[in-house]
Structure formats: C-alpha cells, structure tokens
C-alpha cells in the first residue's frame, strides 16, 4: 500500500459525515471528510498542487492502517454500545413546532478507563441499548411493571444514581450520547448496588419519538441541559415548543416534567415557553404534592454554577388529565 499525504476525498454517494467528526469541505468538486480514506483512484487532486494538500494534513496516513472501503452511512461500529457511522438520524415533524436540530456529534474524549471498560463489557447487554426504531418493552427490560421515568441528558449520572434508590419502585431510563458519562453511571450503579436504571445511548428527542410508547411515562427529567449560548446555536436547545409537545404525548395524564438550569439566558428562553404546550400545566416549585420525586442532589455542574453566582431555575409541569 502507498502512503498518502493528502486529505482523503469521498465519492459523492458516500453520504454525510461521521457522527463524531464535524470537518467537511469541498475539494475540487468532491466532498472531503477527515474520518474517511478513499482509494487513490477516487481522488481527483490536481497534479500541480500536491504541497497545498500536504500542508493541511502534514502527518502521512498509510492506507493499510485503515480500510480503503468507505463505511456506509449508519453502518454499525464494532463494540458494545457504539453508535453507527453517519449523521445521527433525525425525525421529520409536520406540526410546525420547533425541535432541536443537531448536525453532528463530537466529543473530546470517548475512551473508557480499563475499569470502566470491564464493567461496560460485563453489563451493557443487560443494562443498555443504543437508539433504534424498536419500542422499549419496559416490563420485559426491567423484569417488572412500574412507573417509568426518562431522564434526558443524564451526563455522568450523579443525580440519576442518587435519586433511583429513593424511588425504588420506579423504572428509570437514562438517555445520554456521551459514552464515558454512561460508563460512569454504570460503574456507580454497580458500586451502589442500584438496579432500577437502564440506559439508552442516543439523542433524547429521537429516543422519545422512536422508542417510548405514547402516554407511558410517569415523568421526564431534563437537568442542566447544554444552554448553547450563541444565538446561532439556539436551535440546538433541547427545550423547544416541539420537544414539549413530544414529551406531553409520552407522559401519562398526571405525569410530570421537571427541568432545571443555572443559565440565566436559557431560563429566560424557557420562561417564554412555559405556557406554550396546552397539555402541560405549569406547577410551582417546590411542589410538595408532586407525584414525582423533585429533590435533586447537587451535581458538580450545579456546584460550579453556584460558585459563579448563578441562580438555579426549576420548572415543573404536569400533564392535564
């Protein structure tokens, strides 16, 4: 195999970028992606500009170190709990409401420690699954019936694993994209002997839409979601009119949605959406009569916010009967 010093060029029919890469550029009429190496015959680089492309990717990459065949869009990866290649699936809604739009997913660190990897390999098949079009059979997965709560964006699971023993009769489904976060939650579950939590690796909106049955949930939690502070990124915020409508459709009558943020501008954003969904009735916080546990432990993100002088904003809705 020959080594190549240029950015690999993908054929136009390969599809969109890998889920954990964001750099896509047009190079001489062909789409280029940092995650993909194509055979030399697919590259159409001009002979008089080799140095220009070499400067973009100074470290040579040998083709025998990677597959010369591009991975098809949404092809599975090797390993337990791995998301498929390609841009994450996004449902198309026709209700004229706003839904989060995420073009890709990228993490600075995706590897697990040896200890986390061992716990992951030994327990993922029973505890976890990746986002799919298969509706979750809660009773079969947990081995019992019971009120079901979905936590969107569980992060490293500090709140999840602390609250689960306090509602031992509830079935908790933690939804998170970040694999090391789920690994920390899984490790904490085994350490604390907590077994009423299951995990879905995927986007929260898509999991609700594709995997959760209508009117099946006792509660939904969204604690300290990414505020996406730049104006051009506001479309990525999880709390949108469409998300509230989707959550309402998945809650049973009387079910509770609980949202918390320490970001002041995001709180103003949520304030404008409090009454937008007619099936969700705002409730006060604190709300002693809540049928869902509302007391949260203080997470590291909350502590950081408090140290910076941020206020914690709590929002609670109940689905009307």
Which residues does the annotation mark as catalytic?
226
Q: How many CB atoms lie within 10 A of CB 76?
A: 12
Radius of gyration of the chain (CA): 22
CA 87 to chain centre: 13
DSSP helix/strand/coil, 62 = strand
Q: How many residues does the chain have?
A: 321
Instruction: Name the nearest CA neighbour of 229 among 297, 169, 123, 310.
Output: 310
List, in sequence order, every residue forming a beta bridge with 78; answer none if it has no partner: none
CA angle, 292 then 296 then 300, to 5°: 150
Kind plus residue range of the DSSP H or E element containing 255:
strand 251-261
User: What are the angstrom distances between the C-alpha of 67 and each of 38, 64, 73, 251?
Assistant: 8, 7, 15, 45
Q: By the 8 A CB rule, do 208 and 246 touch?
A: yes
- Are the C-beta atoms of residues 251 and 306 closer than 8 Å to each other? no
Nearest-angstrom CA–CA distance, 159 and 109: 22
């Amino acid at each position: 195999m020959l080594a190549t010093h240029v950015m690999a060029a993908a054929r136009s029919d390969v599809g969109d970028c890998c889920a954990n890469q964001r750099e896509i550029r047009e190079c001489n009429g062909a789409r280029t992606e940092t995650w993909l190496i194509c055979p030399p015959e697919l590259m159409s680089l001009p002979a008089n500009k080799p140095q220009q492309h070499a400067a973009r990717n100074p470290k040579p990459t040998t083709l025998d170190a990677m597959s010369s065949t591009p991975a098809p869009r949404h092809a599975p990866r090797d390993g337990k709990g791995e998301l498929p290649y390609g841009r994450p699936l996004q449902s198309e809604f026709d209700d004229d409401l706003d839904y989060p739009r995420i073009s890709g997913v990228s993490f600075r660190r995706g590897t697990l420690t040896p200890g986390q990897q061992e716990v992951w390999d030994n327990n993922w098949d029973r505890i976890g699954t990746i986002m799919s079009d298969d509706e979750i059979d809660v009773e079969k997965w947990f081995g019992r019936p019971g009120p079901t709560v979905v936590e969107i964006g569980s992060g490293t699971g500090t709140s999840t694993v602390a609250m689960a023993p306090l509602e031992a009769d509830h079935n908790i489904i933690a939804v998170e994209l970040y694999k090391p976060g789920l690994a920390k939650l899984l490790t904490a579950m085994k350490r604390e002997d907590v077994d009423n939590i299951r995990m879905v690796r995927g986007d929260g909106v898509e999991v609700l839409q594709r995997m959760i049955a209508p009117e099946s949930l006792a509660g939904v939690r969204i604690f300290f979601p990414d505020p996406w502070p730049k104006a051009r990124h506001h479309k990525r915020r999880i709390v949108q009119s469409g998300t509230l409508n989707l959550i309402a459709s998945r809650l049973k009558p009387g079910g509770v949605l609980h949202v918390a943020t320490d970001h002041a501008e995001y709180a103003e954003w949520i304030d404008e959406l409090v009454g937008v969904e007619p099936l969700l009735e705002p409730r006060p916080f604190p709300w002693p009569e809540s049928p869902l546990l509302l007391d949260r432990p203080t997470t590291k993100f909350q502590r950081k916010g408090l140290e910076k002088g941020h206020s914690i904003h709590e929002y609670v809705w109940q689905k009307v009967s």
